[in-house]
């Protein structure tokens, strides 16, 4: 992937998914969360269903790990803060009915 843009996010290595990319002629190995939106779209557009599932599960695990490190599990204000800044998004999904 070789995308030219000047609005790159701050590199923080927040997740464990590593992608090769070229920025300003330099090859880099960056996490998915450190990629620009254009770089992320290039990956997502070419990904298979299985690759997307793996990415989602990996990001969910990494997000849980960050929450554990930051001890966000029992802080209602953390959830409220996430809602306030638009980090909580309700995504409708089809679920199989579980018989009780």
Give me the residue spans of the domains in the chain.
Answer: 18-84
In sequence order, the 6+-apart residues with CB closer than 8 A to the CB of 4 are 24
Residue among 53, 55, 8 nearest 34 (CA)? 8
Global confidence as pTM: 0.67
- Say how far residue 3 (Cα) sits from the centre of its chain: 19
Round to whole Å and give the CA distance between 32 and 15.
Answer: 7
Per-residue pLDDT of the chain in tens (100 residues, 90 and over written 9) = 555 546 898 999 989 999 999 998 999 999 999 999 999 999 999 999 999 999 999 999 998 888 777 666 566 666 666 666 566 555 566 656 556 5
């Amino acid at each position: 992937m070789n995308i030219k843009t000047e609005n790159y996010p701050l590199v923080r290595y927040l997740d464990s998914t590593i992608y090769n990319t070229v920025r300003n002629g330099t090859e880099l190995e960056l996490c998915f969360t450190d990629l620009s939106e254009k770089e992320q779209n290039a990956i997502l557009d070419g990904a298979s269903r299985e690759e997307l599932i793996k990415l989602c599960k990996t990001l969910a695990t990494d997000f849980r790990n960050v929450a554990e490190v930051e001890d966000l599990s029992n802080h209602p204000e953390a959830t409220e803060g996430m809602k306030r800044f638009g980090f909580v998004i309700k995504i409708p999904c089809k679920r199989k009915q579980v018989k009780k």
